[in-house]
Amino acid sequence: MARRGENIRKRSDGRWEGRYLIHINGSKKYRSVYAPSYNEVKQKLFNSKKESEITLLSQKEQTAPLNASADMSLDEIGQLWLIYIKDNRKYSTYRKYANIYDMHIQDIFGSLTADEISLEIIEKALPKEMSASLYKSIYCVLNQILSYGNRYCGTPKIHLKTEKLRTVPKPVQTINATDQQKLCRYLLSDLDSCKLGILICLYMGLRLGEICALKWEDIDFQRKTIHINRTVQRIQVGQGDQKTILYEGPPKTLCSVREIPIPEFLFPLLLSCKDEGGGYVLNKFSPMEPRTYQYKFYSYLNKAYIKKSHFHALRHTFATNCISNGADVKSVSEMLGHSNVNITLNKYVHPSMDTKRNILDSLSSISSINGQISGRIIS
């Protein structure tokens, strides 16, 4: 039984949920933890609350940096900002932002003050051949530094707008129906855990990092579901001998922590490959290196006589198949772990001309003008 004031409840799906309060940039928000039993969720809730309290104390200590002033250089603000985000963001996010700052911002803009930063200066300084995605990342980091400077150092309030950087989205790459059949035939001809992982991605929409971090304990064979609660990626950590590390952590967003039902036709394959000793699905004792698994996928395509596709095409194919078979967008979005249903709509829902024509033709059944037009033609 849940105790009064604990904010713990048993959900309809059988799991226990505990909710706790966190503070993000002065705002209060609730987060949840889940576990199969009351005692487990109570322990997870206690640990999460402690982490939240430590983070809040860290934020309070850093909200008023020593020697802060309105005429600080961008590099001085940037160094304080990096200290701040190191304790308040995912480690992989911190490393990404730190690398962007070190490689593309510090040397070029570091000596300027906040009020000297402008779109014109940035456009002149950055290479024209730089990709749009990197441009956007640089603007994102600059805006966060400027916002931090305004809030904690008293620098002018400046926000760099990036409308001019909008690009035409690339078409989604999928695997056609014929190649899907060829791939499945090859994988099933000599099934092992790595080949099973490809089928899981094709029919359940997991990301590359999610399947590489999947453990047998994440698969509920009684409820026939898979829990996605971690991912793995190689991230850059420095310039020395060890420039990168294989980092295992929480998924891309909070919405990426999800539970996906296992398709009936896939369930016997999972049972046949199940390792009673536990561990990781793909690699037993450690998470699979994502690039290694990507190369395995390329090898499978080659052996099945299928043209090369990016690994993410498996996820795109899953989503496209769901939408094409009439699945509601909200359900597909949740299974994909998208943070917003509009991401799913914009990326995968593209009605054909025949679909649009059928919609308009269907209006004839409710339109009084239809009979008038028919009568006019006959007369």
Q: What is the pLDDT of residue 356?
A: 76
**SS3 of the chain: helix, strand, coil, percent, to 5:** 55, 15, 35
Give the whole-angstrom CA distance, residue 59 versus residue 47: 18
What is the dihedral angle through the alpha carbons of 347, 349, 350, 355, rounded to the nearest 10 degrees?
180
Q: What is the pLDDT of residue 1?
A: 44
Q: What is the DSSP letter of 14?
A: S
Q: What is the pLDDT of residue 93?
A: 87
Give the up-direction half-sphere exposure of residue 75: CA atoms within 13 A in the CB hemisphere.
Answer: 11
Cα 40 to Cα 16, 33, 50, 225, 256, distances in angstroms: 9, 10, 16, 19, 22
Which residue in the block uniquely carries the two structure tokens 């829902």? 349
Which residues of the chain have a pLDDT value below 70? Answer: 1-6, 23-27, 49-69, 162-169, 238-242, 351-352, 364-379
The pLDDT tens digits for 323-359 are 888 899 999 999 999 988 888 888 887 766 777 777 7
Q: What is the DSSP letter of 263?
A: P
Considering only the C-alpha atoms of the chain, give the largest distance between any 2 of them, rounded to a whole number of Å: 89
Q: What is the pLDDT of residue 241?
A: 58
Q: What is the pLDDT of residue 5?
A: 43
Q: What is the pLDDT of residue 363?
A: 75
pTM: 0.68
Is the separation of the CB atoms in 111 and 102 below 8 Å?
no
Q: What is the pLDDT of residue 374?
A: 55
Q: What is the pLDDT of residue 61?
A: 47
Q: What is the pLDDT of residue 134?
A: 87
Question: Which uninterrupted H or E stretch holds 15?
Answer: none
